């Protein structure tokens, strides 16, 4: 979930990330739905998440970044099951795909969100971010 949130990528794209997609402190992603290619800088929270993932025991032959305890590439079903359990324990009610919209909204910059999500059109990104947090406005200044 952390990887999906930080990168703003679809579940299928997060699952297909390979260790070899990490080059020169960048995460190279080719989105499955659109074919859009992205280079996401590995810094801050994303760097911490990737370090945490890489620190786990892993099958050195299987190059999938996300692996199950047996060293196999994590499947959509396994990811969904883990997400459902975490959601139940935490008492929140949202879907995994909502992380993509949250990532867009949390950038607080529509142009950044558009690039992160790989959208061609600004209007598509606006659908993800519209009215989630409301407009940020400054109060009236009275003399």
Q: How far apart are CA 3 and CA 8, in angstroms?
A: 8
Long-range contacts of 52-56 (CB under 8 A, 24+ apart): 53/3, 54/19
Mean pLDDT (whole number) for 119-130: 85
Over 70: is that where the pLDDT of 117 sits? yes
In whole numbers, what is the pLDDT of the chain averaged over residues? Answer: 90
Query: What tens digit of pLDDT does each residue of 44-86 get?
Result: 999 999 999 999 888 778 899 999 988 899 999 999 999 999 9
Report domain 2-129's class: mainly alpha
Q: How far apart are CA 86 and CA 4, in angstroms?
A: 15
Over 80: is that where the pLDDT of 137 sits? no
Ordered alpha helix ranges (H), the chain: 2-7, 11-15, 44-55, 76-90, 98-106, 110-117, 122-129
Among the residue ranges 25-29, 55-59, 101-105, 135-139, the one predicted with the least confidence is 135-139
What per-residue confidence (pLDDT) applies to 136?
67
What per-residue confidence (pLDDT) applies to 131?
61
- What six digits make up the tokens of 8? 């703003």
- Contact yes or no for 29/37 (Cβ under 8 A): yes
Residue of 27, 64, 31, 63 lying closest to 43 (CA atoms):
27
- Every domain of the chain and the residues it spans: 2-129
What per-residue confidence (pLDDT) applies to 97?
85
What percentage of residues in the chain have a pLDDT greater than 70? 94
């Amino acid at each position: 979930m952390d990887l999906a949130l930080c990168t703003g990528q679809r579940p299928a794209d997060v699952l297909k990330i390979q260790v070899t997609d990490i080059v020169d402190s960048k995460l190279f992603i080719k989105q499955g739905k659109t074919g859009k290619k992205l280079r996401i800088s590995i810094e801050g929270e994303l760097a911490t998440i990737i370090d945490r993932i890489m620190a786990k025991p892993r099958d050195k032959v299987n190059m999938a970044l996300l692996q199950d305890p047996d060293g196999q590439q994590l499947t959509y079903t396994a990811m969904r099951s883990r997400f459902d359990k975490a959601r139940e324990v935490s008492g929140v009610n949202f879907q995994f795909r909502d992380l993509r919209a949250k990532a867009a909204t949390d950038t607080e910059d529509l142009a950044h969100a558009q690039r992160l999500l790989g959208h061609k059109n600004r209007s598509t990104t606006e659908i993800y971010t519209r009215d989630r947090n409301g407009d940020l406005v400054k109060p009236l200044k009275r003399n």
